[in-house]
Amino acid sequence: MSKKITFSKALREGLHEEMIRDENVFIIGEDMAVMGNVFGVTTGFLDEFGPNRVIDTPISEEGFCGMAVGAAMRGLRPVVELMYNDFITVAADPIFNQAAKTRYMTGGQATVPMVLRCPMGAGRRNAGHHSQSLEALFCHFPGLKVIAPSCAEDAKGLIKSAIRDDDPVVSLENKLLYAKKEEIPEEEYLIPLGKAKVKREGKDITLITWSRQVNFAMEAAETLAAEGIDVEVLDLRSLVPLDWEAIAASVSKTHNVLIVSEEVKRGSYAGELSAQIAEELFDELDAPVERLCGLNIVSPFSPVLEDENFPHPETIAKAVKHVLNK
């Protein structure tokens, strides 16, 4: 049995189920309690779970992220929200220097089982301070796990697995996915970290992507199918750990690769993937790996300019043809 709900409600269900299952799980962040989150994810949680488990904070990202790291080291399982992933620059030390490194630097004597939820992405006219996709930054630090769901089903299954994980997990959630409705199972389920999903089988080219760009990739693939080009769409779902076996299997089948990401192209996670594929799967390639990413600019406020700043189905289709020399 399945039901159709929004991405945000799927996240809500996952959080709710885990808070009921484990009293050590608590939620902390700006506007998470009384307001119920800017995107309505935790509406009603304060009434149900009380102020000790659903905590509103001051506008002090470094402070409440540091509190969460300490709480996790003492056995609790905090779910922290940065209102926008851009704000990680304010909270860099507790996340990158403490949460990511504690397990290794204590020889496993201390763990940091926390989740950091980070709304990300452009397209809402939020301008330069609230529109970035910073997956490359999060993936750079050993010790952090990073997920980037593209649909409601994955949002719920991955957040539940992230909460149960004993390492810090960053959940990157594109803001323009929150209102998207999709079918999810009625029964409880988990989706393991580190497992990609082939969203569409194909034989001509592998399109590797994640988060909202998966939807654009699927649109482009359907358009190209009408022109006789068969595209395989691989949704990574988890950026760290990376499902290298799924990537290798797909590239070995299609022998052509396009990586699509909303992030700025320079220094991107897409660039890391491109390098890995070129280094380890070179003999499988019929053409160089190409990347289609955001432009190397600050995200504009202007709707016309902002929409030119990240890939769309039309630009993805054009890039696929370029790789295939068509």
CATH code where residue 217 lies:
3.40.50.920
Domain that holds residue 252: 197-323
306 falls within a domain? yes
Residue-wise pLDDT tens digits, 146-192: 999 999 999 999 999 999 999 999 999 999 999 999 999 999 999 99
- As annotated, the active-site residues are 61, 130
Q: What is the pLDDT, as a whole number, of residue 42?
A: 92
Query: Is the preceding peptide bond at 241 cis, omega within 30 degrees of 0?
Result: yes
Q: What is the pLDDT, as a whole number, of residue 122?
A: 76
Same domain flag for 135 and 254: no
Q: What is the pLDDT, as a whole number, of residue 127?
A: 77
Same domain flag for 24 and 57: yes
Alpha-carbon Rg for the chain in angstroms? 19
Classify 134 as helix, strand or coil.
coil
Tokens representing 68 are 């969460």
Alpha carbons 131 and 299: distance in angstroms, whole number? 6
208 falls within a domain? yes
CB 220 within 8 A of CB 45: no
Last residue of a domain, one of 185, 213, 230: 185
- Rounded to 5°, the CA angle 251-256-258 comes to 95
190 falls within a domain? no
Same domain flag for 55 and 106: yes
Tokens representing 31 are 């506007």
